[in-house]
Amino acid sequence: MARKNYNFDFYNCVTASSNSNAQVKSTFDILNSLFVKFQQGENAVKVIGSNSYELRGIEETDYGFKGIIGKHRVSDLPHVAVIGGEEREISLEPNENLLEKAFFTFHADYSIIIIQRNHFCISHSNMAKYLSESTYVTALNPIIEATDLRWLLNNNVQIRTAEFAIARPTNPELFNDVEHDFNNSIISTLNGTGTAMLNMSLRGNARSDVAEDRYLASTLKGALRELQTKFDLKKCKLLLEDSETHITHPVDLVADRLFYTKNIEVEGRYPPSFEMWAALEEARAEKENELANYFGNLTQSRLA
C-alpha cells in the first residue's frame, strides 16, 4: 500500500459576541450545540462563499470533541481521463456532489483545534466561519513559537524589516471586517488589479538612530497578525529589534506555526479513519511542551 504524509495544524479558538449584553459563549459551547443537533439528526450544513460545508461526524470525548468537516463541490467539477486518452465528465447521480473531508479534534483545556491540512476541503478562516453563529464570531488564530510571541508582544521590540507574500483570495467574504488600513490597502490591490500574488518587502533605515526612521510603524504588528489569521500567507518573515538593547531576532510567522506531520498508509486514495484519529492524538501529545510554553501550564495561573 502507498504511504502519504498528512499535516495537522494547531489553532487557538476564540469566540466572542458583537452584542455586549449577550451571554458569554465559548467555542466549546458552539461545538456542543453542533454535537446536540447532530445527535438529533438536524442539518449541519452552512454555506460559506460558493461552497456548502457539512459536519459529517462529531463525537464527544474526554478532552472535548472530535469530528469530520466536509465540503460539497457543486460547480466546476473536473473531468477524468487517462494520459493521451479521451476525457469525460464525472458522472454523478441527481443531488450528488464531490466531497472533500478534513478530520479535526477540539481540546477544551487550551481551547485549541487541531485540523487536518486539506486546502481542497477547508481553510482555517472558513472553519472559523463555520464555528460562528448569530452574533457570535469565532476566530482561529495560528499558534506560533512561544519565543516569537514574546518578542511580538514586547513593547520595546520594533520591526526593522518585513517580507511577506499573499495569494489573492477568491472568497469575497474574507474582505469583510478587516480592521487595519494597511490590510485594506493590500486587499484593494489584490482585488482591484487582478494580482495573483503580492510580494512586499518593507524596510526601515538601518543606518538611522532615530526610531521613526529606523523602525516600521508599531501598528504593523497587529496588521500582520490580522493578515495571518484572515488570509493564506505564503511568506511572512520579520526582523525584530529591541529598541533598548538593539538585539535582533528573526521571526517567521509561516514556518514557525505549530503543526504535526504523520506518515500514514493509504487504502485506495484515502487514509483509514482510525489512522487519522490516532495521528490527531499523537499530534497533541507530541506538541504538549510547545502548548504549555505558549499558553502556560494548566496547573499554574495564566493571563487568560
How far apart are alpha carbons 182 and 202 in whole angstroms?
12
268 and 135, same domain (yes or no): yes
186 and 271, same domain (yes or no): no
Q: Which range marks the domain in which residue 152 is found?
A: 146-252
125 and 13, same domain (yes or no): yes
Query: pLDDT higher for 38 or 165?
Result: 38
- Mean of pLDDT values over 136-157: 85
Q: Rounded to two decimals, what is the model's pTM?
A: 0.77
60 and 74, same domain (yes or no): yes
137 and 93, same domain (yes or no): yes
129 and 239, same domain (yes or no): no
200 and 80, same domain (yes or no): no
Q: Which helix (H) or strand (E) holds 181?
A: helix 181-193
Cβ atoms of 248 and 240 within 8 Å: the answer is: yes
Q: Please report, as a single letter, which amino acid is at residue 91.
A: S
Query: pLDDT higher for 38 or 210?
Result: 38
- What is the share, in percent, of the chain residues with pLDDT greater than 90? 34
132 occurs within a structural domain: yes
Query: pLDDT higher for 84 or 240?
Result: 240
87 occurs within a structural domain: yes
How far apart are alpha carbons 67 and 107 in whole angstroms?
12
Average pLDDT over the chain reads 84
202 and 267, same domain (yes or no): no
How far apart are alpha carbons 84 and 280 in whole angstroms?
40
Least confident of 55-59, 71-75, 204-208: 71-75
Rounded to 5 degrees, what angle do the CA atoms 62, 66, 70 make?
Answer: 170
300 occurs within a structural domain: no
63 and 156, same domain (yes or no): no
13 and 92, same domain (yes or no): yes
56 and 183, same domain (yes or no): no
